[in-house]
Amino acid sequence: MSREQAPMVTPVLFDCDPGVDDAVALLMALSSPSLAVLGITVVSGNVPLERTLRNALQIRDLANRPDIPIYAGCERPLFREPIYGQFHGTSGLGNVVLPEPLGTAEPGHAVDFLVQQLLAAAAVGDKITLCTTGPLTNVGLALRHSPSIAAGIDRIVMMGGAFHQAGNRTMTSEFNVLTDPHAAHIVFSSGLPITVMSLDASHQAIATPERVATIGRLPGHVAQAVAEIMTFWNRNDPKRYGGPGGPLHDPLVTAYLLRPDLFEGEAARVFVECQSELSMGQTIADWWDKSGEAANATIISKVDADGFFALLGECLLRYACHQPG
């Protein structure tokens, strides 16, 4: 690279429900010079909205990124009653104890912020990548309220869904999509390019005790906090995961933006079940063109897990080297 050539920087907006694995995804992104995080919007999901907001503020402080605006969004799904995560602890961040937030959220609603940012990008011919690691309520509402924001979206990289894997909250459905299947339907019907990190991908990225120990040996208080969070994340379910540990779902979204070479996927049409209570929130992929409808997503099917955990370590090392952002 010549001295005159600036490195590529991808502008991103994070919509999330922190959440153990959301926290790790955010810390990776906030440490990465190739990502310009324009803002963080939070939604009810793993824990109620007041906790996801507080957790996002604490993660921002942990990353020493007070420049990042944070907005509170929807406190419930579009049409259904709220449900919450089962594995994130009372606070949503496991057993880790973080200081009281230094700052507060911005005034205004997350949906309004998303609309404003995306319309502003579209007005000057720019595009922003949306990273979604929680229920899609905020994004679905923004698209329904102001469809023209699509012109300002480069792509959506989302964690959600299950295809070859069974669900992680019901027999058929992954938690993020199950929580607000109607919002997920809006997003998958938007015509936007979507990359899907489903359970098929995240169950390949298991935070085993050995990998957690490697993170714990890294210098710096951020790596220590992540190791503590990941220790709490051990599901103790070797029948499902092949051994001790837990799947790191949401950080794969950040990793894909940083190292797409670590992933393989296949295009397909994705449908979301919104009527049957038995299979509510199920994501169904038309692998063999039975519907006659064009593919609307790239579903990630393979993850280089060792490469992903090495990348996570590189991101955390930046904090120890005083190089966040």
Q: Which residues does the annotation mark as catalytic?
A: 249
Asked if 28 and 254 touch (Cβ cutoff 8 Å), the reply is: yes
How many helices (H) and strands (E) the chain has is answered by 12, 9
Residues whose CB is less than 8 angstroms from the CB of residue 305 and which lie 6 or more positions away in sequence, other chains included: 204, 205, 206
Q: Please give the structure tokens belonging to residue 278.
A: 């038995």
Nearest to 318 by CA among 213, 220, 217: 220
The torsion angles phi and psi of 232, rounded to 5 degrees, stand at -60, -30
What kind and span of H or E run contains 131?
Answer: strand 128-132
> What region, left, alpha or beta, does residue 70 occupy, with left being phi > 0 and alpha being psi -120 to 50 degrees?
beta
Specify the 3-state DSSP secondary structure of 136. Answer: coil
Bridge partner list, 270:
285
Q: Which residues pair with 153 in a beta bridge?
A: 128
